Structure 1
């Protein structure tokens, strides 16, 4: 192989050191000390290669390698470097390491491409700190407004605008992060599978041809906090009672929609949160995913209808806040074919796959051709300390994408 296994391993292990929870999985939230440490490592590695290194107002890192004709659009490669709380070392960084290693191999072999190649490392893909997710790619595609930055806050009450400014970015210039479709020829991402299929079927790589759509929203149910002992049942405005009636039906709505549709209530907060007080406010999130947009909309409409009916009968107020809404996305046929051909030429086994997880690639598809390649996850584990991908498996994926970059970049 032309890529270097030692460097790949070193990058993963170095990035894993920038962690707020050592010994308890990887926690690297956006715009934190751990973010800055990872950011400096990435920028240092890019600078060593003589690339043009810069950051956009959303906090994404770029490293541009000249092509023969720099007036042509860039071929962008990369992923994200933030994590979930107590996650693993490969979700996101695997794609960062892919892009770093490809840039190194291009440089050390003095490869000339007609099109310029650009590294990208994005933050807040997971939404672990501020919610919503895929922030860097949404900013690049013009889907982030200044108002959102002044409304989204973390658990400590720090608004994203404040965190960006403290980090050295200007939130009022977020629109300058937007990239024009004419400026990007393609975006290619490598990711761990986060599931058991590749390992179970003993395949080296998975070539994604479709990413599910995702609609994530927050529901706030406001009732009235009252004394738990002195307020009769028929005189209560219990936010939790109302929310629970709706939540209990969501599982059935997803099953009725079929087509692999799934729906998850992942966060549930109750206020005031005391055993002897009737819940006055409940906040919960809903995450709906499907390969068909109609199925997502059907489930959401049924949830909203149920919320309104329960609110009417119980006297509570309902507020819905949209966090993420992305349609199902088909990968570029040209890129998929190139990945497939290069997988064959490298002698690797592969299958074509549907991605049930969301990725920056699905957002970037709104402005350019995209490709997504999976490498195996040990025991299918992800978003946990046990997350693992063998370095040799990661190298195989990087090797395939490297050859695809030569195809798309039109090596001279």
Structure 2
């Protein structure tokens, strides 16, 4: 079955009628449906499916073993995300395995298709949670204490889904199984549009992280409180959003985004007592990323003081600059007709695992250049080209 036809089977799963696009978060209804779909589709292709201690799904061609070739991506999405970010990599992996089996090929090296849990961090705030747990990038205790917007902990959600949160955490046995990893992903930018090519090889990932800013002031009546008597945390929060934009714009290839703001208690006619905002900051190198956040934090403290408020800043996740394995990068480029090499500002499970095993990524052209939004897209012919490229890589690596 073609990649596009397989993707079409997911069209109605996790649709977000309010935001548009899809909202599929770890162990919610939509993501559970996708897990069931993955298990069923893997079984159709003769793959053995197992779930590791950290809720990542593995579908094995033959017996599981160490030093395997691993491919796949994730099934979850950001709130109101597109149809391709994550699922394209999983679906392409299944289609590539099917193509290889139909051609009579049998791998001499263990091969697995993986679907990592909570890559986007859309429910619990920490991106690449499944791969971070597996590799020790976040501790079991820290992960299990994470809470979703309803106040439910990750431990509670794991337990309700039939997993033991006490067993979560770094999994050296699973790490040993990753001999090489290649993740196919829709491009989250316009590089391939400008290059007029359907497939590219990844070179690097920007240093990036997420920080929570909590501004505290004094809740009060919107009509009865004169402006001069207010300690309104929304004011320093708003000024910090603007400062983040200015600071990023002043630095080469830096990004700073506030995509989520929550006011407490959240009434239209109420001066907030607290405002939380989440900053996503990225830059090509670690020192630049840290300097950017430090400067935004300086502005936040200054603006809070001006309004008679306070601010607490908490780092929720951080990943240093990733340079994918240069040997694999050059090998893939040569295999794929001198494919272009592109950096990316987006984080991926392959980036998390790059410190533990040789990893590589393939990008499929996105004609809109838009990602993390319903307009994200990939044409059927480009999806087919990506799947063909992935199948060629898997054949060479497991022959």
1:343 aligns with 2:339: no
Instruction: State the TM-score, normalizing by the size of structure 2.
Output: 0.92
Q: Unpaired segments of 5 or more residues in structure 2?
A: none
| Alignment partner, residue 110 of structure 2 | 116
Is the CA contact (8 Å cut-off) linking 1:212 and 1:327 kept in structure 2?
yes
Task: Find 2:165's aligned residue among 160, 165, 171.
Answer: 171
For 1:330 and 1:367, locate their aligned partners in 2 and report how far apart those are by CA, in whole Å.
13
| Alignment partner, residue 50 of structure 1 | 46
Task: Find 1:29's aligned residue among 25, 38, 43.
Answer: 25
SS at match of 1:380: coil
For 2:4 and 2:113, locate their aligned partners in 1 and report how far apart those are by CA, in whole Å.
19
1:13 aligns with 2:4: no
Task: Find 2:145's aligned residue among 124, 146, 151.
Answer: 151
CA shift at 1:234, angstroms? 4.5
1:83 aligns with 2:77: yes
CA shift at 1:179, angstroms? 5.1
Q: Which has the larger displacement, 14-23 or 39-48?
A: 14-23
For 1:210 and 1:324, locate their aligned partners in 2 and report how far apart those are by CA, in whole Å.
19
| Alignment partner, residue 348 of structure 2 | 359
Compared with structure 1, are the counterparts of its residues 130 and 181 closer, same or farther at alpha carbon in structure 2 (3 Å cutoff)? closer
CA shift at 1:187, angstroms? 1.2
For 1:386 and 1:228, locate their aligned partners in 2 and report how far apart those are by CA, in whole Å.
38
1:135 aligns with 2:129: yes
Q: Deviations over 1:200-222 (max 9, x none)?
A: 33112111111111111111111
For 1:213 and 1:289, locate their aligned partners in 2 and report how far apart those are by CA, in whole Å.
6
Compared with structure 1, are the counterparts of its residues 25 and 72 closer, same or farther at alpha carbon in structure 2 (3 Å cutoff)? closer
1:63 aligns with 2:59: yes
CA shift at 1:235, angstroms? 4.2
- 1:283-322 matched pairs, under 5 angstroms: 283-322=276-315
CA shift at 1:325, angstroms? 0.3
| Alignment partner, residue 3 of structure 1 | none
- 1:268-287 matched pairs, under 5 angstroms: 268-287=261-280
Is the CA contact (8 Å cut-off) linking 1:338 and 1:407 kept in structure 2?
no
| Alignment partner, residue 265 of structure 1 | 258
SS at match of 2:53: coil
Q: Deviations over 1:222-265 (max 9, x none)?
A: 1111234454545432211222232221112112332x011111
SS at match of 2:16: coil
Q: Deviations over 1:281-301 (max 9, x none)?
A: 010011111111111011111
CA shift at 1:80, angstroms? 0.4
CA shift at 1:332, angstroms? 1.0
CA shift at 1:110, angstroms? 4.1
For 2:362 and 2:30, locate their aligned partners in 1 and report how far apart those are by CA, in whole Å.
27
1:217 aligns with 2:211: yes
For 1:71 and 1:380, locate their aligned partners in 2 and report how far apart those are by CA, in whole Å.
38
Is the CA contact (8 Å cut-off) linking 1:180 and 1:367 kept in structure 2?
no
How large is the RMSD of aligned CA atoms in angstroms?
Answer: 2.2
Is the CA contact (8 Å cut-off) linking 1:269 and 1:284 kept in structure 2?
yes
CA shift at 1:15, angstroms? 2.3
| Alignment partner, residue 378 of structure 2 | 389
SS at match of 2:246: helix
SS at match of 1:78: strand
Compared with structure 1, are the counterparts of its residues 20 and 210 closer, same or farther at alpha carbon in structure 2 (3 Å cutoff)? same
For 1:380 and 1:256, locate their aligned partners in 2 and report how far apart those are by CA, in whole Å.
23
Compared with structure 1, are the counterparts of its residues 122 and 34 closer, same or farther at alpha carbon in structure 2 (3 Å cutoff)? same
SS at match of 1:378: coil
For 1:332 and 1:163, locate their aligned partners in 2 and report how far apart those are by CA, in whole Å.
35
| Alignment partner, residue 401 of structure 1 | 390
Is the CA contact (8 Å cut-off) linking 2:134 and 2:175 kept in structure 1?
no
Q: Deviations over 1:385-407 (max 9, x none)?
A: 33221122112112222222233
